[in-house]
């Protein structure tokens, strides 16, 4: 008898569902719900580009829509499908996406008095209004709790939990006081479905706690009261209204309540797994394991792998949290601030219509042009920092750099240089991991870019010197969530389910040895620029850079 | 009774004439003759992009055409005009543009046996086939005659006299042996008009001799036989078939021969001034004097000023030659390898049609967009080295650099950054001059760019911190040639004629103090990149560069 699992993936602008057959990974149904509020689901402030909020009602409405939609599809695809055979539900969301809630776990914004207050809404991960508070937290931790920073790359971000809460406290006492507690989106939704949103007892995810709230069992959970008190006298008291422990997603957050079973058209009692962040579950859905790095390639990237629980702290990575990806192993997270965004910026602003009438024609024509070019033949070298550098420099105050232009340089050569730059950035992350004992034997990519752009994938293989696989599923996050739903229900182990369910496209991109050796030379030059412009206190010599690039160019053009 | 002078300006693709009224500088006639041979007058080799040759017949045909054309126009403009009132003819050409000639001074290529031999043609200034010979000359001079290099910026160029002659000797013994001597284009044409092309007695210009052939009266004229012999055993003998002395353009090369008077429709006996290079005469036509730097703004720039005869050697300038510009003073030449070319490259390859349908619409729209932007507001900083660096680094093996891009950077901001980069390059030249005692109080620009692009001119004034004037005449080279024609005839002094004839447009661009202070900060960063990438042996720190640019950007966007 077949069994199924249901994964829910809450992204930045929409949420989507996926029903999979646990015997073979077949995808039976998947629907999308674009959040209706604000601008593509995001509430903004015309006077402050840092503001990004959401309406929690969108999450609830979306939940009903995408689950009911997927069920209809599954029945249509397979008449044998029965909702009674769904063993578990897993949920991933963006984060740190913080909801101010009352003592029942109901969002403060659902109260009439706060329904028009943007600060009472959900604070979406990409809200950057809390940058001053993030700096305050970084500075204090550097001084008195360096161990907190060692787990999150050395810099606390304005995108994260404590910075947001502290900012609410600083700018809107009304909301802060009305909030009995705060809950991550990825913890709130499982709690809602399980029918227990009490902030003191709902299950908290170790993924969000560890990566965003400086939670670590080794130091007793959340940051201690003394530390929090030095940030703000109100925080120690809040700490008592948060949580002592956090769990991995192989744990059940509860079972589907009668109320929500009715809304969703599902039987009561289905296991709800503890939630986690989208990329972390996406990595599982793409087959992450020791030695495999999963790169979720989108506008930016999220790079995830896992390591033994005794792995050392790696400087410059975004986070290292036990059980945040695979239970019992350390989830290791890194990221590149701009990949797809970089290519889109180029094609929107600097590619003439000679390449095509629209964005996709231009990309296609440029990829066609660059096929015949050898590595280094353009003489160009770029840094991929147009949106700062997330890993390993963790510095937003960096910018782009392009070097080697002549009076003949063309747009498709610049495009290729940016692809290469993002590959060099990826290699820098991998090298940093390996220097600290985290092996990377192969790289798996997920996301539309990796399915669409074979030229890019081959360049990545040549630069990284490792085979590159592509996830067959375009819903790896929801896939990972579904896997955790099944694991939390006790249906099977994570390892076994990954083996059964995870598939790759046929093409595995293998490094070409001769391209690899040219890229090794180019990477040395990239690393020189990377360190020269990005590493505090660097000093050295750059007079060789342009000459080396010209020599490589001349060599490649005549070869 | 009015008096006139005739100037002839031989450019890379065409030649043009100018008849001026010596009482007031009025331009009575000017016509252009595009060279009919090859590709826009240039004979090329599809297998070697370094080849650039010309057909000397084009010079002769052009001479007749442009002089007769100008005379017709002058009669039409002023019925009082009479060819008998033309007191002198001056001629400028490109250089080092070298003609292999027989013992009568007739181009070897006019012989039937050589008419299809590209090596027997004129070796145009921009022919770069002789790069190995140039290196050989630089290396030998460094070792045994450093004083030769001190007058030409430390590096001998493949564009210059001895490199070309040595290359002919190396690659085409037939042409070398058929050539009794070699003559610069700027010396050959006055000799032709004056009816004496004997290579041993025709007048040679100190401008070409000093700037390109390492001629200096201080060391007895051309390089000595021992030096030449070490380059090639044949050269000492050739030296005896060249010249002992060279003259300034206030000297007469002769008077118009009966034969050419007939061809041209002019009276016999008009004074022909000694020739010189286009930019050098152009500087005179733009009013060069001590304290005034003339920038001939074109695809690249030629920067000319004059200094006292006891001025020290300035490292990195292209040349310092007594009387090469103004007789009795040292002509000081510098240059930037790409200015107009840089902007054209950008607009052709990296500016989308959103700015306009063609090149001029795109330029106009970008200039309009950048008007509202403050210096530094884009956060961009570029090096102007897409075509190498002529002054002060004298290094062709350099390339472009653009830094500070974000995901919002637009094409017009990049255009502005390149304008600024060329201005920083210009300031670097001026600073180098002033550090060695050559004062620059004001800058005069000539060329279409300076007439068309007011935005660029204001940026230059703000960066250079000096008033910028624009030559009213669009024919400053021909104007300078005409002035020398009159001076050589004894009609009036150079200083007096410049006062009467040279005019500027009404707008004088004055530095804006607040922009100037921002540009002073940006220039420090430019200089840091300039030295880091361009100066051998530089070592230092660059980690502040991107952060400083972001700080300036933030400051300028909120101001």
Average of per-residue pLDDT across A271-297: 97
Give SS3 for A335: strand
pLDDT of residue A239: 98
pLDDT of residue A371: 87
Q: Residues B4-35: pLDDT tens digits?
A: 999 999 999 999 999 999 999 999 999 999 99
Question: Taking CB atoms and an 8 Å cutoff, what residues of chain B touch A397?
Answer: 546-547, 550
- Angstroms from B126 CA to nearest CA on chain A: 16
Give SS3 for A50: strand
Q: B400–A404: do the CB atoms touch at under 8 Å?
A: yes
Q: How many CA atoms lie within 13 A of B460 on its CB side?
A: 25
CA-to-CA distance for A333 and A77, rounded, in angstroms? 37
Which of B15, B350, B471, B408 shows the shortest CA–CA distance to A400? B408
Cβ–Cβ < 8 Å for B104, B178: no
Q: B541–A542: do the CB atoms touch at under 8 Å?
A: no
Q: Would you tell me the crossing angle of helices B340-349 and B359-371 to the nearest 10 degrees? A: 100
Both structure tokens of A462: 């040549």
Which of B397, B385, B191 shows the shortest CA–CA distance to A552? B397
| N-to-C CA span, chain A | 61
pLDDT of residue A396: 87
Q: A407–B532: do the CB atoms touch at under 8 Å?
A: no
| Order of strands across the sheet that contains A122-123 | A43-45, A48-54, A122-123, A98-101, A181-184
Q: What angle do CA B152, B154, B160 make, to 5 degrees?
A: 50
Q: A407–B345: do the CB atoms touch at under 8 Å?
A: yes
pLDDT of residue B170: 98
Q: B353–A353: do the CB atoms touch at under 8 Å?
A: yes
CA-to-CA distance for B477 and B249, rounded, in angstroms? 13
Cβ–Cβ < 8 Å for B362, B351: yes
Q: A536–B543: do the CB atoms touch at under 8 Å?
A: yes
Higher pLDDT, B483 or A395: B483
Cβ–Cβ < 8 Å for B179, B100: yes
Cβ–Cβ < 8 Å for B41, B7: no
Q: B399–A546: do the CB atoms touch at under 8 Å?
A: yes
Q: Which residues are bridge partners to A468 per DSSP?
A: A443, A509
Cβ–Cβ < 8 Å for B280, B90: no
3-state secondary structure A53-81: EECHHHHHHHHHHHHHHHHHHHHHHCCCC
- Fold topology of B288-470+512-559: Nucleotidyltransferase; domain 5 (3.30.420)
Q: Residues A156-211: pLDDT tens digits?
A: 999 999 999 999 999 999 999 999 999 999 999 999 999 999 999 999 999 999 99
Residue among B352, B401, B534 whose CB faces A352 most closely: B352
Q: Which residues of A289-324 are buried (b: 16+ CB within 10 A; e: fewer)?
A: beebbbbbbbbbbbbbbbbeeebeebebbbbbbbbb
Residues 6 or more apart whose CB falls under 8 angstroms from that of A373 comprise A413, A416
Question: Does position A31 have pLDDT exceeding 80, yes or no?
Answer: yes
pLDDT of residue B319: 92
Q: B399–A549: do the CB atoms touch at under 8 Å?
A: yes
Residues 6 or more apart whose CB falls under 8 angstroms from that of A399 comprise A385, A386, A388, B379, B403, B404, B405, B406, B546, B549, B550
How do A468-470 and B4-10 pair as beta strands? unpaired
Q: A407–B535: do the CB atoms touch at under 8 Å?
A: no
How many C-beta atoms lie closer than 10 Å to residue A510's C-beta? 12
Sign of the C-alpha dihedral, residues A5, A8, A9, A13? positive
Question: Does position A1 have pLDDT exceeding 80, yes or no?
Answer: no
| % of residues, chain A, pLDDT over 90 | 95
Residues 6 or more apart whose CB falls under 8 angstroms from that of A46 comprise none
Pick the residue of A337, A355, A407 with the most B CBs within 10 A to test the interface with B by mutation: A407
pLDDT of residue B48: 87
How many C-beta atoms lie closer than 10 Å to residue A551's C-beta? 15
pLDDT of residue B303: 97
Cβ–Cβ < 8 Å for B353, B317: no
The CA R_g of chain B, rounded to the nearest whole Å, is: 24
pLDDT of residue A161: 98
**Chain center to CA of A376:** 31
pLDDT of residue A35: 98
Q: B536–A543: do the CB atoms touch at under 8 Å?
A: yes
Q: Which residues are bridge partners to B43 per DSSP?
A: B53
Question: Taking CB atoms and an 8 Å cutoff, what residues of chain B touch A350?
Answer: 350-352, 411, 414
pLDDT of residue A447: 86
Q: Which residues are bridge partners to B302 per DSSP?
A: B296, B335
Q: Would you tell me the crossing angle of helices B494-501 and B476-488 to the nearest 10 degrees? A: 140
CA-to-CA distance for B101 and B108, rounded, in angstroms? 5
CA-to-CA distance for B455 and B368, rounded, in angstroms? 9
Phi, psi of B543 (to 5 degrees): -65, -15
A526: left (phi over 0), alpha (psi -120 to 50) or beta: alpha
Pick the residue of A336, A352, A545 with the most B CBs within 10 A to test the interface with B by mutation: A352
Average of per-residue pLDDT across A470-494: 97
Q: Residues A90-113: pLDDT tens digits?
A: 999 999 999 999 999 999 999 999
Average of per-residue pLDDT across A271-281: 98
CA-to-CA distance for B4 and A95, rounded, in angstroms? 82
- Angstroms from B288 CA to nearest CA on chain A: 31
Question: Taking CB atoms and an 8 Å cutoff, what residues of chain A touch B299?
Answer: none
Residue among B350, B397, B543 whose CB faces A547 most closely: B397
pLDDT of residue B206: 98
Question: Does position A490 have pLDDT exceeding 90, yes or no?
Answer: yes
Which residues make up the CATH 3.30.420.40 domain(s) of chain A?
A: 4-277, 288-470+512-559
Both structure tokens of B420: 């600024």
Average pLDDT, chain A: 96
pLDDT of residue B153: 86
Residues 6 or more apart whose CB falls under 8 angstroms from that of B378 comprise B404, B409, B413, B416, B417, B553
- Angstroms from B127 CA to nearest CA on chain A: 17
Q: Residues A44-56: pLDDT tens digits?
A: 998 888 899 999 9
CA-to-CA distance for B401 and A402, rounded, in angstroms? 6
pLDDT of residue A346: 98
Residues 6 or more apart whose CB falls under 8 angstroms from that of A371 comprise A455
Q: Which residue has the tokens 């284009």?
A: B185
Name the CATH architecture for the domain at A4-277: 2-Layer Sandwich (3.30)
Q: A407–B534: do the CB atoms touch at under 8 Å?
A: no
CA-to-CA distance for A343 and A364, rounded, in angstroms? 12
Phi, psi of B5 (to 5 degrees): -135, 155
Question: Taking CB atoms and an 8 Å cutoff, what residues of chain A touch B400?
Answer: 402-406, 409
Both structure tokens of B273: 């001034």
Q: Indicate whether this complex's ipTM tops 0.90.
A: yes
CA distances for B277 relative to B5, B17, B100, B331, angstroms: 18, 15, 18, 12
Q: Check residue B172 and report its DSSP letter.
A: -
CA-to-CA distance for B401 and B421, rounded, in angstroms? 10
pTM as predicted: 0.93
- DSSP-assigned letters across all residues of A139-204: HHHHHH-HHHHHTTTT---TTSHHHHHHHHHHH-HHHHHH-SEEEEHHHHHHHHHHT---TTTS--
Model confidence band, residue A513 (pLDDT cutoffs 50, 70, 90)? very high
Average of per-residue pLDDT across A391-403: 94
Residue of A nearest to B530 (CA): A543
Ranges of chain B with pLDDT below 70: none
CA-to-CA distance for B88 and B481, rounded, in angstroms? 10
Question: Does position A559 have pLDDT exceeding 80, yes or no?
Answer: no
Residue among A387, A406, A538 whose CB faces B407 most closely: A387
Question: Taking CB atoms and an 8 Å cutoff, what residues of chain B touch A540?
Answer: 539
Q: Residues B544-553: pLDDT tens digits?
A: 999 999 999 9
Cβ–Cβ < 8 Å for A265, A83: yes
Q: Which residues are bridge partners to B101 per DSSP?
A: B107, B181
| Helix (H) or strand (E) segment spanning residue B529 | helix B513-534
Q: B404–A399: do the CB atoms touch at under 8 Å?
A: yes
Question: Does position A81 have pLDDT exceeding 80, yes or no?
Answer: yes
Pick the residue of A397, A405, A537, A545 with the most B CBs within 10 A to test the interface with B by mutation: A405
Q: Which residue has the tokens 């450093």?
A: B146
């Amino acid at each position: 008898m077949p069994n199924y699992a249901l994964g829910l993936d809450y992204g930045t602008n929409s949420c989507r569902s996926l029903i999979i057959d646990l015997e073979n990974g077949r995808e039976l149904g998947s629907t999308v719900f674009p959040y209706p509020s604000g601008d593509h689901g995001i509430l903004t402030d015309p006077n402050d580009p840092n503001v990004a909020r959401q309406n929690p009602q969108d999450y609830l409405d979306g939940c009903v829509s995408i689950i009911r939609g997927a069920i209809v599809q599954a029945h249509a695809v397979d008449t044998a499908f029965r909702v009674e055979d769904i063993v578990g539900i897993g949920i991933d969301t963006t984060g740190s996406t913080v909801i101010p809630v009352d003592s029942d776990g109901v969002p403060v914004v659902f109260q009439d008095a706060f329904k028009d207050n943007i600060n009472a809404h959900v604070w979406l991960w990409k809200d950057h209004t809390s940058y001053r508070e993030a700096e305050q937290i970084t500075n204090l931790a550097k001084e008195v709790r360096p161990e907190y920073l060692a787990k999150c790359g050395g810099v606390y971000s304005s995108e994260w939990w404590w910075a947001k809460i502290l900012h609410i406290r600083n700018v809107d006492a009304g909301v802060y006081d009305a909030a009995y507690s705060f809950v991550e989106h990825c913890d709130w939704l499982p709690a809602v479905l399980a029918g227990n949103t009490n902030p003191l007892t709902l299950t908290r995810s170790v993924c969000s706690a560890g990566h965003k709230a400086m939670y670590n069992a080794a130091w007793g959970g959340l940051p201690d009261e003394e530390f929090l008190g030095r940030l703000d006298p109100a925080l120690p008291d809040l700490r008592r209204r948060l949580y002592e422990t956090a769990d991995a997603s192989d744990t059940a957050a509860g079972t589907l309540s009668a109320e929500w079973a009715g809304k969703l058209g599902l039987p009561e009692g289905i296991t709800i797994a503890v939630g986690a962040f989208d990329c972390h579950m996406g990595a599982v859905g793409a087959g992450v394991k020791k030695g495999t790095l999963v790169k979720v390639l989108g506008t930016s990237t999220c790079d995830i792998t896992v390591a033994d629980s005794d792995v050392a702290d790696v400087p410059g990575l975004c986070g290292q949290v036990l059980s945040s990806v695979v239970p019992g192993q350390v989830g290791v997270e890194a990221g590149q601030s701009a990949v797809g965004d970089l290519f889109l910026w180029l094609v929107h602003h600097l590619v003439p219509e000679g390449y095509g009438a629209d964005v996709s024609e231009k990309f296609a024509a440029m990829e066609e042009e660059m096929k015949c070019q050898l590595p280094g033949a353009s003489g160009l070298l770029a840094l991929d920092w147009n949106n700062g550098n997330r890993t390993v420099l963790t510095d937003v105050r960096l910018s782009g750099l392009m070097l080697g232009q002549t009076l003949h340089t063309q747009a498709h050569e610049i495009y290729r240089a940016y692809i290469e730059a993002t590959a060099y950035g990826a290699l820098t992350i991998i090298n940093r991991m390996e220097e600290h004992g985290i092996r990377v034997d192969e790289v798996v990519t997920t996301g539309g870019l990796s399915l669409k752009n074979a030229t890019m994938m081959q360049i990545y293989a040549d630069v990284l010197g490792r085979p590159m696989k592509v996830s067959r599923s375009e819903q790896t996050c929801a896939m990972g969530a579904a896997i955790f739903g099944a694991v939390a229900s006790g249906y099977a182990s994570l390892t076994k389910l990954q083996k059964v369910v995870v598939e790759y496209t046929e093409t595995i991109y293998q490094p070409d040895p001769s391209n690899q050796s040219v890229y090794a030379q180019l990477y040395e030059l990239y690393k020189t620029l990377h360190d020269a412009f990005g590493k505090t206190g660097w000093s050295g010599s750059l007079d060789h850079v342009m000459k080396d690039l010209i020599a490589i160019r001349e060599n490649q053009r005549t070869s």
